[in-house]
Amino acid sequence: MRAGGGFGLGLAFFLIVVVLVPFGVGPQSALLSTIAPGILWLGALLACLLSLDRILALDWEDGSLDLLATSPLPMEGIVSVKALAHWLTTGLPLVLAAPVLGILLNLPAPGFGWLVVSLALGTPALSVIGTFGAALTVGLKRGGLLLSLLVLPLYMPTLIFGAEVARRGAEGMALGTPLALLAGITCGTIALLPFASAAVLRVNLR
């Protein structure tokens, strides 16, 4: 359960994506500050995606999942703890690193606070949804690409509302509605999706 390894890669990936964007779109600071919230959200989302297959793969390979499944712990609890572990090792560092990378992209000053808030609210949903995807593909040999294909459509609502909060924050607009909807999605996924993940994992362990 502990001691996975390779989670720091997500942070490095986030940094690289953000560094590459100006090379792609040009160095004009006006353009960069317009797209900064969206790029930062997208970068965080992709960095999150990168480490998803590590959530369960190690425990699958060494047989721990079988043993955990026959232990007194409920499967729903196991997947929830897994998602929490993923958030602590991936989501939280991304949230903390985002403002620093915001400087690189010339993010407008009022945007920093809302960027952190939106990421802090949104990344737990990304981890929980990602755990569902990891549970779906855990037994597959080439599961990595499939995992992305399955998880990315599920990420869409979170991305839309999260980036909307960050963008409106940067532009100084009212953002109560998307913030509430983002929080709603996160709470909903945390409350309900572990049941689906646990069911999927039980099927995969048969």
CB of 40 closer than 8 Å to CB of 50: no
CB of 152 closer than 8 Å to CB of 126: no
- Residue 3 DSSP symbol: -
User: Does 26 interact with another protein (rule: CB under 8 A)?
Assistant: no
String marking each residue 78-107 x if it binds another protein according to CB under 8 A: ------------------------------
Cα separation values, 50 from 6, 15, 90, 125, Å = 10, 13, 10, 15
User: Does 156 interact with another protein (rule: CB under 8 A)?
Assistant: yes
Which stretch, 19-27, 30-38, 116-124, 175-183, contacts another protein (CB under 8 A)?
Answer: 175-183
Rounded CA-CA distance 155/15 in Å is: 21
124 contacts: CB under 8 Å, gap ≥ 6: 83, 87, 91, 186, 190
The footprint of another protein on this chain (CB under 8 A) covers a number of residues equal to 48
User: Does 63 interact with another protein (rule: CB under 8 A)?
Assistant: yes
User: Does 177 interact with another protein (rule: CB under 8 A)?
Assistant: yes
C-beta of 5 vs 27, nearer to another protein: 5
CB of 183 closer than 8 Å to CB of 129: no
User: Does 62 interact with another protein (rule: CB under 8 A)?
Assistant: yes
Binding positions for another protein, rule: CB under 8 A: 1-3, 5, 59, 61-64, 66-73, 132, 136-137, 139-140, 142-143, 146, 149-150, 152-154, 156-157, 160-161, 164, 168, 177-178, 181, 185, 193, 196, 199-200, 203-206
